[in-house]
Amino acid sequence: MVNTKVTLSGWELDNPIIPASGTFGYGKEFAELWDINMLGSFSFKGTTREARFGNPTPRIAECSAGMINAVGLQNPGIQHVVEHELPEMKKFFHKKVVANISGFSLEEYVDCCRIMDKEDQVGIIEVNVSCPNVHGGGMAFGTSPESAAQVTRAVKEVTQKPVYIKLSPNVTDIVSVAKACEEAGADGLSLINTLLGMRIDLKKKKPVIANKMGGFSGPAIFPVALRMVFQVAQAVNIPIIGMGGVATAEDVIEMMLAGATAVQIGAQNLVDPYVCPKIIAELPSVMEKYGIQSLTDIIGGAWK
């Protein structure tokens, strides 16, 4: 009997599968299709201090082996999430969740993390310093080691829960950003967020997306994500949640061999809403195929 359990900062998960923020909402729509309690956890929709309508439409562009989105952190604001979404979530999901937080100022990150720290349902606070499709926030904090460390230190001062910093691939050296976050007190890291991409409408001769550019995700970015997890895992001593183009149980194993302790599934949820239960069901047989008894034994196995 294989063991799929993993541990993130003292929090034991039944398996490493976590739907990524922005691709799973608050879980309700998926809970109507299958029992989402089989998940390790899930990262709910990126939350800001104030409600956001998001970017103008069109917001989505298709491309080979992936998609580009510029939704722009549309969400109802943190007070609504705490007062309505979390209590509603408790009815159909009976495990702790990952709270994804974003902001447009250091103060906003701090305020949101302070509020979310009080919620029993939250197991980890995932601080997004890497959203590529909003102006003046998100990725602006994650493109330099200094600014990423500044956010990390500030939110750690107001939280008791583990804080994982979600990193951007749109940098020259992701390792330096990761190490700066670790030194500033991060309990873990999530990587990678989307790459920056665009499409042009040939008939209109203009960008497809109103925002012009957006976050490129899907299977096409998996090798990039894998490489970055591999590099960062060798440079830090805190756990990593790996993500970026993961679509199969084999991808999960590969990501863990690169150094991830848990794995988030993003764009593939939008292609196949049953992808997570499929991966969870296939994971034991894939482990047996490759002679893996326990997932914790293979973390970083490609370089250790």
Active-site option among 112, 113, 131, 181? 131
Clarify whether 131 is annotated catalytic. yes
Neighbours of 53 (CB within 10 A): 9
Q: Is 245 helix (H, G, I), strand (E, B) or coil?
A: coil
Burial class from Cβ neighbours inside 10 Å (0-12, 13-18, 19+) for residue 258 reads buried
CA dihedral 289, 291, 292, 297 (to 10 degrees): -150
CB 72 within 8 A of CB 133: yes
C-alpha distances in Å from residue 152, one per residue of 105, 129, 142, 186: 13, 10, 10, 6
Which position has the token pair 């691709």?
Answer: 23
Task: Using alpha carbons, list the distances in angstroms from residue 212 to 3, 129, 136, 199.
Answer: 45, 21, 16, 8
Q: Give the Cα separation of 127 and 253 in Å (integer).
A: 25
CA distance linking residue 244 with residue 268, whole number of Å:
10
| Cβ count near 6 (within 10 Å) | 24
Catalytic machinery residues:
131
